[in-house]
Structure 1
Amino acid sequence: MNWPAIHRNTAGSSVRQLVSLLSLLCCIGVFAQTQPANQPVVLKLTLHDTIQPVTAGYLSRGLAEASRRHASAVLVSLGTPGGLLDSTRLMVQTIENSPIPVIFYVSPSGSRAASAGFFLLESADVAAMAPGTNAGAAHPIIEGGEKIDPALKEKIENDAEAFLRSYASRRNRNLDAAIDAVRNSKSYSDDEALKLNLIDLTAPDDATLLNTLDNRTIHRFNGATETLHLRDATIVTFAPSLRERLLGRLTNPDLAVLLLVLGGLLIYLEFNVPGTIVPGSLGTLLVLLGLFGLNLLPVRHTAVALLFAAFILIVLEAKFASHGALGLAGVISLVFGLATLVDAPIPELRVHTAVALAAGLGFGIITLCLAWIAVRARRSKILTGPQAMVGATAIIRSPLSLAGHDSGQVEIRGELWQARLLNPTPNDLPVGSEVRVSSVDGLTLLVEPSPSFPSARPSGKVD
């Protein structure tokens, strides 16, 4: 028997089996990798906030990320009371230019797409609502709620209506119902919006919505048609960045005002107690954060003037005795300035009255107290240095008299000082007598006899 030949055949068979096994594993790996790639991916964004520059930046970044990932669609969960029209225009422009289909979905139940949110809903490639939601009430509100000239009011309404018409007709929406939401603040439930062709469908959740949209042909803003393939799509959540979350908090006008007021108090404390460093540094940081947040919001210049006037009046109250008139005027100016500081179209983007009252009264009272303490400290008697001994009692340690001995030494506070009589007396002032310090001349104390010294008392004789 030829053992080497048998051994070679057995070894060759083992090698072939090993190669076959490796090939099978590679095929399985490639199949596992290619299978998920064929599954549609939908990037989900959440806009449950007021519409302002931060949300506009978040939407723009999300659409760019969806394009980079070659996502099948972008799903935006919407729930907002409204916001700034300038930010809304920017977001609508971003949606219109997106290469990826954008689906706006008012969810979950109980949410709303009011004011600016209605404009965004109508601009989407697909508009959907969950049961129990509503949309509309998109009448443009004059920032700050002021009464304006009727002609200007009509001009603003016409501009908002034209903005909505510019894209709603391309989305095959019901123009009459959409314009009614702008002109007459009409609001619609999910069933009403579906019947009036303001939205494309209703769905209870994300998965049902995407499966319902599978194989549906939509018309893009540029006129092209596209068929959606969203059956069993993988939903990838795209969360706001840390910077966007921080800026989102800072755009809360109540928080921005509180940061501004607290920072101002800490800086004022630093001026009154110089050298502490920590209050001044922390106060500067808080003021900068507050100003940064307010910079993202529409601010009234008249309110800023009121804040400066309030600070000046409060400082003047500490300097002059006005019996509280200047301080009261300063506090009132501060409260009105804070209450009207943010000039926004919806209450959620304005400073609430309770916050303005609490911050204004608190800042005014604390600042008045600090200013009063500082002025009182400046006017109080000096407690250190030679000047602090003026008016104090000293004990003579070497005689003081008129006849060549008017200069001597006195003991005061356990220290020996050179002393000289301010008004020489006819009699010697013996050692151990008490004198009172009247003033200081360099390092010499100018003293005069104490009222208990005999020559300092009235003699009682009548000429």
Structure 2
Amino acid sequence: MPPINIIRYSLIFLLLAGLKVAPVTAQTQATPQISSIVQLQIQDAIGPATSDYIERSMDKAVESGAKAVLILLDTPGGLDTSMRQIIKKIIASPIPVITYVSPGGARAASAGTYLLYASHVAAMTPGTNLGAATPVQLIPAGNPDEPSGDELDKAKPSGDKSKGETVKNPMMQKALNDAVAYIRSLAEMRGRNADWAERAVRDAASLSAEQALKLKVIDIVAIDRTDLLKQLDNRVIPVLGQNLTLQTKDAEIRLIEPDWRSELLAVITNPNIAYILLLAGIYGLIFEFSNPGSIIPGTIGGICLLLALFAFQVLPVNYAGMALILLGIALMIAEAFVPSIGILGFGGLTAFVIGSVILMDTDAPGFGINIALIGAFALSSAAFLIIALGLLLKARHKSVVTGSEELSGSIGIALDDFSGTGLVRVHSEIWRARTRESLHKNQKIQVNNRDGLILEVSSIPNQENLHV
């Protein structure tokens, strides 16, 4: 073989070998990618804004390639619907969700207990507690006929292992059994203590962090986040049927805080704010309809009413309460139109207060309307709708005192003798006047109409006892 061909084939061989080796060399020399953990926070009652924040943040965590989601939890409870939305998202998550009750003194009460049981890893800080997961509707406040959580155990005969027999109301029993089955299913899915989970629902039982770890209710007790990540390192977590190994030793923590959308949703879904928006919207529209053309009250009222309706769409609203509020406002308006010695006004005020009290169909912490706010709006509503609206209606029936309409029928005097067009004095003002008859100086006249700056006048047959 000629030397030129040997050199040619040697170069081609070296080139091909380089193409095969280069990617491997680059891959082996690449810097290892540091794993990241997305941190979220729940530090208040769980509601629509909380579920929106958690769901969207978990989607961002998955899209960014995070290896896990860490939720710092401190909550007194919240709405059942919002809690279940978050739990569905946790169960369907392709990456582990670690729920950590922190800092010391925090709690995972009621709905927070369900979130702990649903998470892939449940952790607590010393000095925290969880439990008291009985649905609050099952124990109406101030009703002596219904037993409290501790009284449920005392009411059971000794040796009787049956659960929930003291709950007499069938609907309450149904809700209780549903809550028990739900939390037991979460406990069995995560391999945690299902019997204690049932006690937390039926008997409102609570546990400290150390007791929870001892009873296998949680997985870890960690003094702080660093300790938590240290204990989680190399832990194998089952996620959607696959075992994933957490690498948390040098993990980067990325905090995702609520954005403007979550903050806005948190504000307008606050029951007190939603209540104020509802009444502001109704009053704005009432003022606009009673004084057409005002524009500003109607515009602001329409915006407030739409925001309130959006908030009530995601809040547990009692529509009987809403109807009573509207009825109360209608009766107070009727009092302004048809004086009834206060009967309509008092009835409207009573319906307004009762409707406001029962408007929120839940006893969940953080989702009630402040009684002081209800009282303030009840009194101000009565003052506005009965007194102010009544004065406005009376003012509309008074005679006109300004403008061209007020001139019609006014009395004046002729300043000269004239027929056709001349000058007259009306209300101490000199006007050019037009008449179809002859008028004499100082003769009293009556204004019939106005055409621009010219008055149409006529003489007065009987001029006695008339004053200009």
Query: Helix, strand or coil: the match of 2:249?
Result: coil
Of 158, 183, 189, which residue of structure 2 is paired with 1:164? 183
Tell whether 2:46 aligns with 1:51: yes
User: Which residue of 1 is the match for residue 218 of structure 2?
Assistant: 199
Whether the 8 Å CA contact 1:40–1:231 is kept in 2: the answer is: no
Tell whether 2:168 aligns with 1:152: no
User: Which residue of 2 is the match for residue 175 of structure 1?
Assistant: 194
Tell whether 2:80 aligns with 1:62: no
> In 1, distance between residues paired with 2:436 and 2:398?
27
Q: Which moved more, 1:118-127 or 1:271-280?
A: 271-280
> In 2, distance between residues paired with 1:292 and 1:239?
23
User: Which residue of 2 is the match for residue 300 of structure 1?
Assistant: 318
Query: Helix, strand or coil: the match of 1:70?
Result: coil
For 1:34, the aligned partner's letter is T
User: Which residue of 2 is the match for residue 18 of structure 1?
Assistant: none
Whether the 8 Å CA contact 1:397–1:409 is kept in 2: the answer is: yes
User: Which residue of 2 is the match for residue 214 of structure 1?
Assistant: 233
Change (3 A) 1:66 1:399: closer
User: Which residue of 2 is the match for residue 34 of structure 1?
Assistant: 31
Query: Helix, strand or coil: the match of 2:176?
Result: helix
Whether the 8 Å CA contact 2:48–2:269 is kept in 1: the answer is: no
Of 114, 123, 137, which residue of structure 2 is paired with 1:119? 114
Tell whether 2:98 aligns with 1:103: yes
> In 2, distance between residues paired with 1:202 and 1:277?
60
For 2:349, the aligned partner's letter is V
Whether the 8 Å CA contact 1:211–1:232 is kept in 2: the answer is: no
Q: TM-score, normalised by structure 1?
A: 0.79
Of 134, 139, 151, which residue of structure 2 is paired with 1:139? 134
Deviation at 1:158, TM superposition (A): 0.4
Whether the 8 Å CA contact 1:420–1:446 is kept in 2: the answer is: no
For 1:119, the aligned partner's letter is Y
Deviation at 1:75, TM superposition (A): 0.4
For 2:173, the aligned partner's letter is E
Deviation at 1:397, TM superposition (A): 5.1
Whether the 8 Å CA contact 1:207–1:232 is kept in 2: the answer is: no
Change (3 A) 1:420 1:452: farther
Larger Rg: 1
Whether the 8 Å CA contact 2:35–2:66 is kept in 1: the answer is: yes
Q: Which moved more, 1:199-208 or 1:263-272?
A: 263-272
Whether the 8 Å CA contact 2:76–2:110 is kept in 1: the answer is: yes
> In 2, distance between residues paired with 1:67 and 1:383?
72
User: Which residue of 2 is the match for residue 266 of structure 1?
Assistant: 284
Query: Helix, strand or coil: the match of 1:170?
Result: helix
Any residues of structure 2 matched to 1:383-398 within 5 Å, and which? 383-384=401-402, 388-389=406-407, 392-396=410-414
Any residues of structure 2 matched to 1:258-407 within 5 Å, and which? 258-384=276-402, 388-389=406-407, 392-396=410-414
Deviation at 1:410, TM superposition (A): 6.0
Deviation at 1:94, TM superposition (A): 1.7
Deviation at 1:313, TM superposition (A): 1.1
Deviation at 1:209, TM superposition (A): 0.6
> In 2, distance between residues paired with 1:325 and 1:87?
43
> In 2, distance between residues paired with 1:99 and 1:388?
78
Cα displacement string for residues 334-357 of structure 1 (whole angstroms, at most 9, x for unaligned residues): 222222222123141121211222
Of 190, 212, 221, which residue of structure 1 is paired with 2:209? 190
> In 1, distance between residues paired with 2:139 and 2:287?
34
Change (3 A) 1:445 1:356: farther
- Return 5+ residue gaps in structure 1 as ranges: 1-26, 422-428, 457-463
Change (3 A) 1:170 1:347: closer
- State the number of aligned residues: 411
Tell whether 2:431 aligns with 1:415: yes
User: Which residue of 2 is the match for residue 228 of structure 1?
Assistant: 246
User: Which residue of 1 is the match for residue 152 of structure 2?
Assistant: none
Deviation at 1:177, TM superposition (A): 1.5
Tell whether 2:138 aligns with 1:128: no
User: Which residue of 2 is the match for residue 88 of structure 1?
Assistant: 83
> In 1, distance between residues paired with 2:214 and 2:458?
100
Change (3 A) 1:144 1:282: farther
Change (3 A) 1:312 1:420: farther
Query: Helix, strand or coil: the match of 1:43?
Result: strand
Cα displacement string for residues 255-306 of structure 1 (whole angstroms, at most 9, x for unaligned residues): 1111222233333333344334233222222222222122110111111211
Of 439, 442, 451, which residue of structure 2 is paired with 1:432? 442
- Return 5+ residue gaps in structure 2 as ranges: 1-24, 147-167, 451-455
For 1:100, the aligned partner's letter is I
For 2:223, the aligned partner's letter is P
> In 2, distance between residues paired with 1:377 and 1:125?
69
Whether the 8 Å CA contact 1:144–1:344 is kept in 2: the answer is: no
Whether the 8 Å CA contact 2:35–2:250 is kept in 1: the answer is: yes
Q: CA RMSD in A?
A: 3.4
Query: Helix, strand or coil: the match of 1:76?
Result: strand
> In 2, distance between residues paired with 1:273 and 1:143?
48
Whether the 8 Å CA contact 1:417–1:445 is kept in 2: the answer is: no
Whether the 8 Å CA contact 2:336–2:385 is kept in 1: the answer is: no
> In 2, distance between residues paired with 1:156 and 1:362?
39
Of 64, 69, 72, which residue of structure 1 is paired with 2:67? 72
> In 2, distance between residues paired with 1:311 and 1:34?
69
> In 1, distance between residues paired with 2:328 and 2:458?
47
